[in-house]
Amino acid sequence: MSGVVDRLRALLTGREPVPEGFAGTLDDGERVIADGRGPRGSVVLATDLGLWLPPAASGEGARRVAWHLVTKATWAGGALEVAEADEVDELAGGVDLLADRAPRRVPLSEPGRLPETVHRRVTAAVKDSQHHDLGGEDGGGAWFVQRRVPGVGVVLHVRPDPGTDPEAVRTVAIGVGEKLRDAGRAR
């Protein structure tokens, strides 16, 4: 009977119920959009605020990755592979420097609408992205990505390519951030 009540509540409120077995705690007002079943029946959720990954083998509990920090998500071979970034520094000009974590592969025995929902949300968070070659002896470059962040607006992230000189990235990122800020004032 509880399942029928949950389904009716979802239809009336426009909110999906939190699936049984979910190991996290949603924020007040956080809304479930889609869910899937991962390893050993764990629950993977897409909410309006981010992607909830199930507990990891390392012992880390279930946690939410905000949409603007999911740098890549792919669905292949029955698994969702998620590349997540950490904001490691805030540079002058309002630019956030990102560092990628190792991608995490989450097999889904029951994917439901989760793969397409994740794709849609990650894509919708990106306003613009451009890769810049930074030249220099070692080559390298960086991705400059403007992302929409709920409650904040548009932020500028910079993600260096592996092996790129961090100081070259910082110098270019600060200049780009200042130009964007000045262009915003001129409007």
- pLDDT band with cut points at 50, 70 and 90 for residue 176: confident
Could you tell me the two tokens for 6? 């949950």
Residue 46 in this model has a pLDDT that exceeds 90: yes
- Check residue 187 and give its pLDDT: 44
With a CB cutoff of 8 Å and minimum separation 6, the contacts of 100 are 71, 83, 84, 85, 159
Quick check: 156 and 177 in contact, CB under 8 A?
yes
- How many helices (H) and strands (E) are present in the chain, helices listed first? 3, 11
Residue 158, SS3?
strand
CA distances for 31 relative to 18, 40, 46, 121, angstroms: 9, 24, 9, 14
- Check residue 137 and give its pLDDT: 65
- pLDDT band with cut points at 50, 70 and 90 for residue 15: low
Residue 133 in this model has a pLDDT that exceeds 80: yes
Q: Rounded to 5 degrees, what are φ and ψ at 77?
A: 60, 30
- Encode burial over 122-147: b for 16+ CB neighbours within 10 A, e otherwise: beebeeeeeebebeeeeebbbebbeb
Q: What is the mean pLDDT of residues 144-155?
A: 90
- Check residue 26 and give its pLDDT: 92
- The pTM of the full predicted model, rounded to 2 decimals, is 0.83
pLDDT digits (tens, 9 = 90+) for 68-117: 999 999 999 999 999 999 999 998 778 999 999 999 999 999 999 999 99
Q: Amino acid letter at 6?
A: D
Residue 43 in this model has a pLDDT that exceeds 50: yes
- The total of structural domains in the chain comes to 1
- Check residue 2 and give its pLDDT: 57
Quick check: 44 and 22 in contact, CB under 8 A?
no
Residue 154 in this model has a pLDDT that exceeds 60: yes
Q: Amino acid letter at 73?
A: A
Residue 183 in this model has a pLDDT that exceeds 70: no
Quick check: 128 and 142 in contact, CB under 8 A?
no
Could you tell me the two tokens for 167? 């100081």
Residue 41, SS3?
helix
Residues of the chain above pLDDT 70, percent? 86
Residue 157, SS3?
strand
Q: What is the mean pLDDT of residues 12-40?
A: 85
- pLDDT band with cut points at 50, 70 and 90 for residue 185: low
Domain assignment of residue 10, given as a range: 2-186
Quick check: 134 and 164 in contact, CB under 8 A?
yes
